[in-house]
Amino acid sequence: MSLFLAAILGYLLGAIPFGLLIGRWTRGIDLRAYGSHRTGATNALRTLGARAAAGVFVLDVAKGVAAVLIARLLFGADPMVEWAAALAGLAAIVGHNWSVFIGFTGGRGVATSAGALGAMTPWTLVILLPIVVAVMWRTRYVSLGSIVGAVGAPIITAFLSGVGWASVQAIAYALASGLLVTVAHADNIGRLRAGTERRIGQKEQVV
C-alpha cells in the first residue's frame, strides 16, 4: 500500500505544470505552442527568458525533492520506505512528462529527476553536476548534457553503493529515471545526430 500511495503522491506532485503556469503568468502564452512544445526550463529559457526559466527550473527540481522527502515522512515506519521514496521520485518524473492536468503533455523530466536524485543520493549529484555543466558549456547543447547525466547517474550511484555511500534503492531510482529521461530525449538524439539540434542561446519568436 505504501508503494502505491507513494506512486500516486509522486505523480501528482510531478504533474503540477509550473512551466505552463509561469508562461501564462509572465507572458500570457502556452509554452507548449513554441519551441520544443515542452513545459520544462530549457523551452522556458528560449521562449520566456532567463528569469522565468530559472523559476521553472527551481520549481521543477523542488517537485522531485518533495516527492522523495514527503514519501519518507509519510512512510518512515514502513520497512519499504526507501523503495517508496524511490518510486515517488520516479513517479514525479512520469507526472512531469505526462501531466494529467494538461492532457498528458509536459517536459522531459531532467530537473525533476535531478531533484529526486539529490534527495535519494546527494553524492551522485555532487559528482555528476560538474560533468553535466561541462558538457553543456563545451558543446552548448542542453540535451547532450542531460543525456550524459541520465546515463552517468546509475554508473556513479552504483560505484558509490560499492563504497557504502548509496543504497540499492538509489541505484534502482538512478537507473529507471535515467532511462525515462533518455527516452524523453529521443527527438533530441535524432537532431544531435543530424546536426540540427538547437544550442544554448537560440531564442524562440513569440508572437
The tens digit of pLDDT for each residue in 60-108 reads 999 999 999 999 999 998 999 999 999 999 999 999 999 999 999 999 9
Does residue 121 lie within any of the structural domains? yes
pLDDT tens, position by position, 34-66: 999 999 999 999 999 999 999 999 999 999 999
In a domain, 75, yes or no: yes
How do residues 129-179 score in pLDDT, each as one tens digit? 999 999 999 999 999 999 999 999 999 999 999 999 999 999 999 999 999
Checking if the pLDDT of 206 tops 90, the result is no
Evaluate whether residue 204 is within a structural domain. Answer: no
Residues 140/200, Cβ–Cβ less than 8 Å: yes
Whether 202 maps to a domain, the answer reads no
Q: For the whole prediction, is pTM greater than 0.75?
A: yes
Q: Is residue 91 part of a domain?
A: yes
Q: For 197-206, what is the mean pLDDT?
A: 82
Q: Which domain holds residue 112?
A: 2-194
Report the share of the chain in percent with pLDDT over 90.
94
What is the 3 state secondary structure string of the chain? Answer: CHHHHHHHHHHHHHCCCHHHHHHHHHHCCCHHHCCCCCCCHHHHHHHHCHHHHHHHHHHHHHHHHHHHHHHHHHCCCCCCHHHHHHHHHHHHHHHHHCEHHHCCECCCCHHHHHHHHHHHCHHHHHHHHHHHHHHHHHHCCHHHHHHHHHHHHHHHHHHHHHCCCCCHHHHHHHHHHHHHHHHHCHHHHHHHHHCCCCCCCCCCCCC
Domain count, the chain: 1
pLDDT reading at 119 higher than 90:
yes
Q: Residue 24: inside a domain, yes or no? A: yes
Would you say residue 18 lies in a domain? yes
201: in domain: no
Query: What pLDDT shows up at residue 207?
Result: 58
Tell me, what's the pLDDT at 31? 96
